[in-house]
Amino acid sequence: MNIKTLQKPWHKRDKVKTLDQLDAVREARMVYHWQKHKNTEARDALIDIFGYLAKRMSYIYRGYTGFAQEDLVAEGYVALMDAINKFNPERGRFAPYANLKIRAAIQEYVMQNWSVVKVWGGDKQRVAFFNISKLKQELNITEKFTEKTAEQAAELLRKRFKKAVTMSGEDLLFFEQLKNRDFSLNTPLAEDDGNSSEHIDSLTNDDLNAEEVLIKNEPDPLLEKLALALEELNPRARDIITRHKLAEEGMKTTLKDLATHYKVSVERVRQVERNALKQVCDFLDVPFKG
């Protein structure tokens, strides 16, 4: 395009209001005068003329539950402004370029706001995200993917999109699971005369409740008394009875090992233990069965 044509001073008659009035030259001049001279009349005219692209694209993606169409339109207009800033008239007409920018921006907005946890990103995931439902319709799949149907769908994607050349059925099964929407635990399970149970009510908790925790942590009087009884023993007797009788299963020390440790006979260790047990039983006021 002749640069002199683009550089001609801006005149009010250069501004057009409808797409029918816009030829390639006028379009290029409007872009040029905004990019080079920041002529707001030229910019606003382009926004007015091509704003329908943002509205149309938002209408296409309105079916993604949870997104207000006004938000999608707003994203589309932001992308339109970006397209006006970056468009090169020498590469063709503005509408196809702006359409691609708007589509990409709205798709990115939907993907990034689909879940509070960021799990979507990259070309392969984008292809899967926006084509899973279409593939199911084509293959007459009404339920979730199986390994077989997921592989069939992945094969279709590989044929249609270069960005999906490495797509596998396993990938689609994973992406389908990710596409489930977040929902609040306070969402009602079912309406019932205005009073309904919420999802949080159906959750189970295997932890102890407050009463059980209190009971569990409450000191056992018998154990406290046993500890006092052991304090009455001499160190050797207390050690023998603790290691041979009170230790956990698998951790108990044999009489032979205790005898070796104290350098006495096994019979002497047994005698010390018997006397210690009798002393403990007397302290606890229970009969000794030795």
Identify the residue with better confidence: 167 or 46: 46
Q: 182 CB contacts (<8 Å, ≥6 apart)? A: 115, 116, 117
Q: Are residues 105 and 155 in the same domain?
A: no
Per-residue pLDDT band for 194 (boundaries 50, 70, 90) equals: low
3-class SS letters over 6-66: HHCCCCHHHCCCCHHHCCHHHHHHHHHHHHHHCCHHHHHHHHHHHHHHHHHHHHHCCCCCC
The answer to whether position 196 is within a domain reads no
Cβ–Cβ < 8 Å for 135, 176: no
Angle (deg, nearest 10), helices 40-60 and 94-112: 50
The answer to whether position 200 is within a domain reads no
> How far apart are the C-alpha atoms of 137 and 3, rounded to whole Å?
50
Per-residue pLDDT band for 229 (boundaries 50, 70, 90) equals: confident
Q: Are residues 93 and 132 in the same domain?
A: no
The answer to whether position 38 is within a domain reads yes
Q: Are residues 8 and 100 in the same domain?
A: yes
**Nearest 10 degrees: CA dihedral of 84, 162, 112, 174?**
170
CA 134, chain centre distance (Å)? 24
The residue out of 82, 112, 142 marking a domain boundary is 112
Identify the residue with better confidence: 149 or 211: 149
> How far apart are the C-alpha atoms of 27 and 34, rounded to whole Å?
11
Host domain of residue 72: 3-112
- The token duo for 27 is 């379009």
pLDDT of amino acid 280: 86
Question: How deeply is 4 buried, as exposed, middle or buried, from its count of CB atoms within 10 A (0-12, 13-18, 19+)?
Answer: exposed
Q: Are residues 20 and 100 in the same domain?
A: yes
List pLDDT tens digits, range 23-81: 888 888 889 889 998 989 889 989 999 999 999 999 888 877 567 889 999 999 999 99
pLDDT of amino acid 128: 78
pLDDT of amino acid 135: 85
Q: 274 CB contacts (<8 Å, ≥6 apart)? A: 290
What is the enclosing helix (H) or strand (E) of 214?
Answer: helix 210-217
The answer to whether position 253 is within a domain reads yes
One-letter amino acid at 249 equals E
pLDDT of amino acid 195: 59
> How far apart are the C-alpha atoms of 124 and 111, rounded to whole Å?
12
The answer to whether position 210 is within a domain reads no
Q: Are residues 130 and 102 in the same domain?
A: no
Q: 158 CB contacts (<8 Å, ≥6 apart)? A: 164, 165, 167
pLDDT of amino acid 215: 61
The answer to whether position 252 is within a domain reads yes
Averaged pLDDT score across all residues of the chain: 81
Cβ–Cβ < 8 Å for 169, 151: yes
